[in-house]
Amino acid sequence: MKGHKIVLRFTAKGMPSFFNQFTGVIGAMVIIVLFLNPAMGQEKDLDVPYASTPPDVVEKMLDMADVGPGDYVIDLGCGDGRIVTAAARRGAFGHGVDLDPKRLKEAREKARKANVSERVMFVQEDIFKTDIQQASVITMYLLSTVNEDMRPRLISELKPGTRIVSHQFGMGIWDPDKHIILGDSYMKGESLTLKEQIEKINHEIYYWVVPAQIEGQWKWQLNGNEFTMNVQQNFQKFQANIISGQDTLVVDNKKLVGKKISFTASSPGKKMHYAFNGKIDEDRQIKGTIQIHDPDARSIKKWEARFVK
């Protein structure tokens, strides 16, 4: 019954851009294809039907994630492998994952023609089961609902700092760090084929950086005083309060990008102002720098915070 899953996904909740506009058309096409062409039966196992990302959109996705040598790119649902092959042309290594053997064959052929076969692979696996931990960049052109189903794995299994780029679809409650819309919509009520729709829509690109887990209590010492910070985290966004002695500091300018954290904190009446900047390591310690903006004595100190609970 997975084929019905495809139909439902196309007609289900919150499809942005062209899937919103073409739900009916695409839903009808998928139903016709599935019922009139038994050879397409194998597509029942797919969570997303095949459609390719246009080459200029591929390049924009790779630009956004700043893909280059030293990166390992995994394309979830790789189709003809164009994203992994384009990443390899920039010096990255990587592999594509797809369930459809026909696409994998095309992908290997494309990589061979581009002379990058020695540093890319294409594997027949399910995106929900495949190992993603070694990626420094994940690329996707799936669907909002499928992205949302993938979200728990992306957050818990990828290393903090891993970049994720998605063509066309967001990830529900996880706001992107960046989001761009390319091109003008050509949609003026014409009846277009699926291929034309994909070529002529506004292409959107979503970009996230997997944040380190910082929720909880942190402590550090500064000039003989203990500082306690309580953090509530919502993906890359967080709320924090800092207590030092009798003072509760006002925390501002908060930023969490992968393992990197920075914020400012001011004492009541803004008598003292601190700027914190550090990196969260695997042992849940933050190491970095504190600027102390004391009107009488400005100084720069080491910041070493430990996670308490």
Instruction: Give the footprint of ligand SAM on this chain (CB under 6 A).
Output: 46-48, 50-53, 75, 77-79, 82-83, 97-100, 103, 126-128, 141, 167
In the complex with ligand SAM, the residue whose CB is nearer, 3 or 160, is 3
* Rounded (10°) angle between helices 23-36 and 2-11: 160
CB of 143 to ligand SAM, least distance (A): 8
3-class DSSP assignment, residue 219: strand
CB of 246 to ligand SAM, least distance (A): 56
In the complex with ligand SAM, the residue whose CB is nearer, 202 or 291, is 202
CB of 6 to ligand SAM, least distance (A): 9
What's the token pair of residue 40? 């397409």
Exposure of 231 by Cβ count < 10 A (0-12 exposed, 13-18 middle, 19+ buried)? buried
In the complex with ligand SAM, the residue whose CB is nearer, 88 or 286, is 88
* Residue with the CB atom nearest ligand SAM in the bound state: 77
In the complex with ligand SAM, the residue whose CB is nearer, 141 or 238, is 141
Token look-up 């994630």 returns 65
Q: Residue 219 corresponds to which amino acid?
A: K
CB of 174 to ligand SAM, least distance (A): 20
In the complex with ligand SAM, the residue whose CB is nearer, 71 or 98, is 98
CB of 204 to ligand SAM, least distance (A): 13
Token look-up 């004391």 returns 294
CB-based contacts of 298-303 (< 8 A; 24+ apart in sequence): 301/222, 301/223, 303/220, 303/222, 303/276, 303/277, 303/278
